[in-house]
Amino acid sequence: MKAIMFLSDMIIPLLIFCIVGYGLLSRHNIYEEFIEGARDGFGTVIGIMPTLIGLMTAVGILRASGFLEFFAGIFAGMTEKIGFPSELLPITLVKMFSSSAATGLLLDIFKEHGADSLLGRMASIMMSSTETIFYTMSVYFMSVKVKKSRYTLAGALTATIAGTAASVILAGYL
């Protein structure tokens, strides 16, 4: 166990050392390439900033208005019939757009039900087994100027449904 802990502590510094060492051995100007990469990254951040601000604003409005709780209440009967707690519906929807907003909802579940409760465990597993679909698609597709996403959305939604179902099943068996 100590070997794994040591390896996990050293993997990033070791990776950086290997990259810098390879650059030095191949006689590249490492500093100039780092600066060029940072400049390109900054340009990407500036390019995707309006999308990020729009997504964060929309999620903030939904959360503050109480619409998420209203939405969960509408579908409570249906979700309970399939064994999915209606309290997790807002976090499931918000996670597709914003991980930080979903984390706020997760903390609300922890405050109300407890981190070790069944709902707390389900929400925790769900947070780690699903992705911020629309955020990720907008950021990555905008940065490389992808116009047609093909099956990305369908695949991502399928994976999110699978991760959400797995979180309910796994937390129930723990």
The CA distances from residue 156 to 5, 40, 102, 135, 173, in Å, are 33, 28, 17, 12, 25
The CA distances from residue 10 to 16, 20, 22, 46, in Å, are 10, 15, 18, 33
Within a domain: residue 13? no
Within a domain: residue 18? no
Tell me how many domains the chain contains: 1
- CA-based torsion, 31, 33, 34, 38: positive or negative: positive
Within a domain: residue 78? yes
Within a domain: residue 29? no
Within a domain: residue 37? no
Query: Hey, what are 9's tokens?
Result: 């502590």
Rounded Cα distance between 67 and 115, Å, is: 24
Q: What is the pLDDT of residue 126?
A: 93
Within a domain: residue 98? yes
Domain residues for 61?
47-173
Tens-of-pLDDT digits for all 174 residues of the chain?
Answer: 788 888 888 999 999 999 989 988 998 888 898 899 999 988 888 887 887 788 778 877 887 898 888 888 888 888 888 888 988 999 998 898 888 888 888 998 999 999 999 999 999 999 998 888 887 887 778 777 787 878 888 999 999 999 999 999 999 875
Query: Of 77, 80, 90, whose CA–CA distance to 123 is shortest?
Result: 90
Q: What is the pLDDT of residue 71?
A: 85
- Mark 60-74 as b/e (b = at least 16 C-beta within 10 Å): eebbeeeebeeebee
Report DSSP letters for 38-68, one per residue.
HHHHHHHHHHHHHHHHHHHHHHHHHHHHTHH
- pTM for the full predicted model: 0.68
Q: What is the pLDDT of residue 121?
A: 94
